[in-house]
Amino acid sequence: MAEERSLTGGDLAKLARELETDPIFRQRFDADPVAAAEAAGMHELALGLEREMRELVALAERIAYDDVYRAELDTDPTAVLVAAG
């Protein structure tokens, strides 16, 4: 299994350039960001996007189903999110 790494500023800059300059890529990205990045040869970016999206969905599910966690977020959202990583 490949080592997972965070998206870098360079990854995000490359993504921003593609989104700004390539309307077809932008349209594909809007429909499926991971598939669009993979098809454009940005394999590491696709992996990073997929991981980030999984983490975001997991966070949304936790907020939706965990009353205690949601209350903690209401009290001090920054501290709770920093603690969660």
pLDDT at 3: 56
Average pLDDT per 10 consecutive residues for the chain, totaling 85 residues: 71 92 96 95 91 91 93 91 83
pLDDT at 1: 46
Give Cβ neighbours of residue 64 (< 8 Å, ≥ 6 apart). Answer: none
Q: Tell me how crowded residue 12 is: count the other CB atoms within 10 A of its CB.
A: 12
C-alpha to C-alpha distances, 3 to 40, 44, 69, 75, nearest whole angstrom: 21, 11, 30, 35
The identity of residue 65, as a single letter, is Y
Interatomic CA distance for residues 66 and 60, integer angstroms: 10
